[in-house]
Chain A
Amino acid sequence: MPAGAADKRMGWVPAPQQGWVAPHIASEFPGLGIAWVEVDAKPGRSPEPVRHRLRDLSDRTYGSQAIRLRERPIPWAYRVFFRQIGLDPDRTRTPVEQLTLDRLHDGGFRSHGLPTDALNVAIVETGVALRAFDAEAIEGRLCIRDTAPGESLAGQTVEMAKGTLTIADESRPVAMLFGPAADGLEVDKRTRRIVIAAVQVKGVPQIAVEEALWMAASTLEAA
């Protein structure tokens, strides 16, 4: 049996790579970090096991849990971070709160195909904020930094205000932190390799970040 097939059967995914945070940002926000894994994936309709898992998650998510969600350590940590960077978490929702709200609104977690479903399962299970990028468009390591004057996201005409926090690669910002991504960085039908990135904030344990990345990556690898 080829080694790759054996690895796939065992649910093997590559170890997460740790990105860096600009020193002056890291000194303001101890505990802020970014980690990612890169996996082969083919975007498209989710297979039945993934959709089954979404249905199972829907059955385990109730309105009362949604209310108490903000008291759980990881969702609370993201709410706090949102406040600290000037966002209102009741308007710009944290990823896990947005998904939980959608679950209540739609009556269940709707399938949006891969890789979105894989990320959603991992976000709901762990509470960790994840997002996906087209790996071919990423240059080098990911980092969290603030924008320099005149920088903007690819495809957007309006330049970002100086000091806006972004996820960036070694050449340019690829997405606003907890905001929109640059054109060409989103996963689309032509994407063959995907970078799954987790944004860690103070209060989110490293083990939760690794679990979230493993969960999303193994779901994509198995599909």
Chain B
Amino acid sequence: MDGRFDSGGGVTTISGMPRLLDQTFQGLGVAVDEREARLQLRRQIARLEAELSGLFGEAFGHTEVPHRIDSIAGAPRVLDLGELEVIRDRLADRVAEARAALVERARVEDENRRLVERMLEAPQDFKWVQVSRQDLGLHGCGHWHSRPRLGPIGMLMGWWRVKVSSGCPLAGRLAAVEHEVPARQAEHAATRKAGRCT
């Protein structure tokens, strides 16, 4: 996008501004030093990059935010005013998109939070609905699941409840399973071998 955000959030198009400046000032016999403008743009790029990095870190694991900007040059070089403006504008776009993605994600998580509250109040109105901790933006495993008590009997009687899962498997239990499987396999192999022998 070839433009600049004004303080009111609108966009003032400055397409071709460097050329315009050149033409205007050349007519007056005044040399234009663009260096200060380039320095200012580099400062803006630095600020936007910091903002985008923060949003990227904040969103990671919750939602994907657009953060890629194609390179302007094939090799490192001093960019001119127009190229710096392009990078600045693309960064500003990414920041705006990332913010919007985070706001949208927060809205979805709030809705899911309210859904869980309603599920807890009236489980029979949300039969078989399952909401995970991830859906609420929480870390770890686990979910809220509306299920009937006593299986088919509960279904027939309308006895519904929200079951909260116990979370992630404990490391100790996982380790026990890992040890248990080879031990069982060895035991089965020994049994088969013994069976063949007899």
Nearest A residue to B88, CB-CB? A83
Q: Does A181 contact B (CB under 8 A)?
A: no
Which B residues touch A27, using CB under 8 A? 35
Contact A88 B42 (CB under 8 A): no
Q: Does B87 contact A (CB under 8 A)?
A: yes
Interface string of A147-165 (1 = CB under 8 A from B): 0000000000000110111
| Given A71-B54, A88-B71: A80 and B78 interface contact (C-beta under 8 Å) | no
A16 to B66 Cα, complex, angstroms: 41
A163 to B60 Cα, complex, angstroms: 37
Nearest A residue to B60, CB-CB? A67
Interface string of A173-194 (1 = CB under 8 A from B): 0001111000000000000000
Within residues 37 to 59 of chain A, which ones have a CB less than 8 A from any CB in chain B?
none
Q: How many residues of B contact A (CB 8 A)?
A: 30
Contact B70 A28 (CB under 8 A): no
Q: Does A68 contact B (CB under 8 A)?
A: yes
Interface string of B52-81 (1 = CB under 8 A from A): 011011001000000111111111111100
Contact of A178 among B49, B76, B87 (CB under 8 A): B76
Which B residues touch A9, using CB under 8 A? none
Contact B49 A76 (CB under 8 A): yes
Contact A28 B45 (CB under 8 A): no
Q: Does B103 contact A (CB under 8 A)?
A: no
Which B residues touch A178, using CB under 8 A? 76
Contact of A88 among B35, B50, B70, B84 (CB under 8 A): B70
Contact A86 B71 (CB under 8 A): yes
| Given A28-B38, A80-B46, A90-B68: A85 and B57 interface contact (C-beta under 8 Å) | no
Contact of B50 among A30, A76, A146, A177 (CB under 8 A): A76
Interface string of B142-175 (1 = CB under 8 A from A): 0000000000000000000000000000000000
Residues of A within 8 A of B (CB): 25, 27-30, 67-68, 70-71, 76, 79-80, 83-88, 90-92, 146, 160-161, 163-165, 176-179, 203
* Beyond A70-B53, A71-B50, A203-B46, 16 additional pairs, beta carbon < 8 A: A27-B35, A28-B38, A30-B39, A67-B60, A79-B49, A83-B91, A84-B84, A84-B87, A85-B76, A85-B77, A86-B71, A86-B72, A86-B76, A146-B77, A161-B75, A176-B76
